[in-house]
Amino acid sequence: MLNEPTLVLNKSWYPIGTTTVRTALCMIFREAAWGLDPSDHTTHDFDSWASLSVLAGEPCIRTVRLELRIPEIIVLTSYDRFPNRRVPFSRRNIYRRDRYRCQYCNARPPVSELTVDHILPRSLGGHSSWANCVLACLPCNRRKGNRTPRESGLRLRRSPREPRWSPCLSIPIGKRKPSWEQFVSDHYWNVELEA
Ligand SMILES: [Zn+2]
């Protein structure tokens, strides 16, 4: 129970990650976070959280003196920084955006056989940017050479663009609690990885 995940929201109620129930309770106790009641969106310090009644059948933590509801969501009390909503342009994030697939033939070879291709080659003035870089397998890369896709007879399967920031991409759907949905649903974050 104590190792179950708890969703962490920053002070502006944006999800910034998860922690364990154990850590979440410590954070509420230290006043680093409030417990959030997903049913009515009220926030609670430790005493207030401890005074919430545990509903019948609801999992809880029992100590000698009290029954504690499991905090499924906490809100940080002081972390006020708005998370960076831009995905850093990096090799790793190009791989993630393109899902480890060649963007020309859709092959998914071993990572070592994928390269970052400049759609408009650098020698022709192409920039290193989200819109001009895609993953290509070695055969497509060789075939393309220093030419444009059109010149080499290759077609992009989708037009590349900057992915939208999502802090919760890393939380598998099956691991999310229903109470988190209002904060982390793909619909809410509008994750656009494909054009
Ligand atoms: Zn390919």
Write the pLDDT tens digit of every residue in 75-131. 999 865 545 556 778 888 898 889 899 999 999 999 999 999 999 999 999 999 999
Centre of ligand 1 to C-alpha 94, Å, is: 15
Residue 135 Cα to ligand 1 middle (Å): 8
162 C-alpha to ligand 1 centroid (Å): 21
Neighbouring-strand partners of residue 9: 15, 75
Closest Cα to residue 2, out of 21, 28, 16, 29?
21
C-alpha of residue 138 to centroid of ligand 1, in Å: 7
CA of 18 to the centre of ligand 1 (A): 36
The model's pLDDT over 124-157, given as tens digits with 9 standing for 90+, comes to: 999 999 999 999 999 999 999 999 999 999 999 9
> Please, which pLDDT band fits residue 60 given cuts at 50, 70 and 90?
confident
Average pLDDT value for residue range 146-175 = 80
What per-residue string of b and e applies to 54-91 under the rule 16 or more CB within 10 Å gives b? Answer: eeeeeeebeeeeeebbbbbbbbbbeeeeeeeeebeeee
First to last CA, the chain: 40
* CA 101 – ligand 1 centroid, Å: 8
In angstroms, the Cα distances linking 19 to 29, 75, 125 are 15, 12, 45
pTM of the model: 0.55
Query: d(Cα 1, Cα 63) in Å, to the nearest integer?
Result: 13
Q: Ligand 1 centroid to 168 CA: how many Å? A: 29
Expressed in angstroms and rounded, the spacing between residue 107 Cα and the centre of ligand 1 is 6
Spacing, Cα 142 to ligand 1 middle (Å): 9
Domains and CATH numbers, the chain: 5-83+166-189 (no CATH), 91-152 (1.10.30.50)
Q: Can you give the pLDDT at residue 194?
A: 37
The rounded mean pLDDT for the chain is 84
User: Are the beta carbons of 140 and 174 closer than 8 angstroms?
Assistant: no
Distance 141 CA to ligand 1 centre (A): 7
Kindly report which listed range (38-42, 66-70, 154-158, 180-184) carries the lowest average pLDDT score: 180-184
Q: How far is the CA of 124 from the centre of ligand 1 (A)?
A: 21
Beta bridge partners of 6: 19
